[in-house]
Amino acid sequence: MPKKVRVLAEDLVLFRDRSGRPGLVYPRCVHRGASLFYGRTEERGIRCCYHGWLFDVNGQCLEQPGRPDTGKPVPGNVRQPNYPVQERYGLIFAYLGPPDRQPLLPRYDILENPGPGEHVEADDSSIGSGGPQIVPCNWLQHFENVMDPFHVPILHGSFSGTQFNENMNLMPDVRFESHAERVSSRQLRQLASGRVHQRITEAVLPAVRVVANPRAQQDGPCSLVGWVLPIDDTHFRIYSAGRVKVAGELQSIRSRFNGRLWAELSEAEHQRFPGDYEAQVSQGPITFHSEEHLVKTDRGVVLLRTLLKKQVDAVVRGENPAGVAFESGAELVKLAAGTSTLNEMPPHVED
C-alpha cells in the first residue's frame, strides 16, 4: 500500500509497484489533484483512484482511461512530479536535489562485506535518538550530539545510572579531527588495568552518524550506520543499517533506563532517568544558539557546525558540497569508527 512520508518539509507518497520497484511521488495527481496515497499499485506503477491515470515509478503517465483516443499513445509530456530512489542496505534512499547534479549513492565499507554468519539488517525505529521513532526537535540538536562525548559519563552515567558499561562512565581524554566530509572524535579512557579503552565516533556528511555500540566490550570496527533524516525544521527520525548475526539484533542497542526502554517509563521516571531525548528535546523545537556559552569541551560541536556552514556556503556559490561522488568507486566511504584497547595513553598534541 502507498505510504505517506514527509522529508525535508515536503509531503510525498512512497510506493512499490507489483513488480517490486519503489517510487516516490508528489501526492496530488497531475490530472485533478486527488492524492495518490489512495491510489492502487499495479505491475507498472500506481493508478489514481479518481480517474484511473496510471503513473510509472519515474512519474511518466502510462494510461489515461476515458479519453476518446484511448488507443493512441499517452502524450509524453504528462508526468507526475517525482524523485529518483534507490535501494541499498534494506533501505530506500531518495535524491531530492537538482537532477543534473545527482551524485552516486554512497556505499559504506563496514556494510559492504558482512563477516561469516552476518547479514545487513535495516531499522526504522530511530536507534540512537534515546526516544520515540519521530523526535520533536531540530535534527541538528541530535546530530551535533554525536560530537559531544563529554555528556556520556554524566547524562548516561551519573544521572541515569550506568546505561552502557562501566568503561563509558569514565571521563574521556578526547581528540577531535575535522576532515573534508566528516568530524571525528577519538575518546581515550584510562582503565584500572593500566590499559586504555579507545572509541572513535564519526559524524559524516550529509547527516550520517557512525557510533560504536557503547555496550560492546570487545574490540572491533563499528557495525552500525545511522542516517539522521530531517522531516522538517522541528522533527527528525533515524534510519539505521547494521551487520547482525540474528534478526532483530539491532534493537538490543537501544538505550535502557534503569533496565527499561524509553517507552516503558512513566513521566516521573523520564525526569529521574533523563537520556538523549530529554536533553535534546528540552532545548526546544529549535534551540537558541545565541543563548549558549560554549567552552573547550564543545570543540567537536563547533567543528561540526563549521563544516556544515561551509557546505551551505558552497551550495550558495553553485558548488557541490563535500562528500558527493560522481565517478564509480569514489562513492565508497571508508569509516574509522569502532573500539580498541591500547597498551598506554597516546601523547596529547595540542592543536
DSSP secondary structure string for all residues of 64-122: -TT-TTTTSPPPTT-B--EE-EEEETTEEEE--S-GGG--PPPEEHHHHS--TT-EEEE
Give the model's confidence band at 350: pLDDT under 50 very low, under 70 low, under 90 confident, else very high: low
Query: Which of 22, 56, 83 is where one domain is finished?
Result: 83
Q: What is the pLDDT of residues 57-108, one digit of tens each?
A: 999 999 999 777 665 666 677 899 999 999 999 999 999 999 999 999 999 9
71 located within any domain: no
Q: Which of 46, 94, 303 is nearest to 185 (CA)?
A: 303
209 located within any domain: yes
* pLDDT score for 180: 92
Query: Which of 32, 58, 83 is where one domain is finished?
Result: 83
* pLDDT score for 73: 63
* pLDDT score for 158: 78
pLDDT > 80? residue 216: no
Considering only CA atoms, give the Rg of the chain: 23
Are 27 and 108 within one domain? no
Give me the CATH number covering residue 17: 2.102.10.10
73 located within any domain: no
Are 276 and 175 within one domain? yes
148 located within any domain: yes
Are 126 and 241 within one domain? yes
Are 126 and 62 within one domain? no
Give the model's confidence band at 213: pLDDT under 50 very low, under 70 low, under 90 confident, else very high: confident
Are 221 and 113 within one domain? yes
Report the share of the chain in percent with pLDDT over 70.
95
Q: Are strands 107-108 and 332-333 parallel, antiparallel or unpaired?
A: parallel
Q: What is the pLDDT of residues 261-298, one digit of tens each?
A: 888 989 998 898 899 999 999 999 999 999 999 999 99
Q: How many domains does the chain have?
A: 2
Are 282 and 133 within one domain? yes
Are 58 and 139 within one domain? no
* pLDDT score for 351: 57
Are 107 and 154 within one domain? yes
pLDDT > 80? residue 45: yes
What one-letter code names the amino acid at 343?
Answer: N
Mean pLDDT of the chain: 92
Buried b (16+ CB within 10 A) or exposed e, 41-79: beebbbbbeeeebbbbbebbbebbeeeeeeeeebeeeee
Q: Which of 100, 98, 118 is nearest to 110 (CA)?
A: 118
Give me the CATH number covering residue 102: 3.90.380
211 located within any domain: yes
Contact (CB, 8 A) for 109 and 334 = yes
Are 283 and 167 within one domain? yes
Are 242 and 104 within one domain? yes
92 located within any domain: no
142 located within any domain: yes
Are 194 and 262 within one domain? yes
333 lies in which domain range?
98-342
pTM of the model as a whole: 0.93
Question: What is the C-alpha separation between 126 and 134, in angstroms, rounded?
Answer: 7
88 located within any domain: no
CA 104 → CA 87, 89, 123, 241, distances in Å? 12, 15, 23, 19
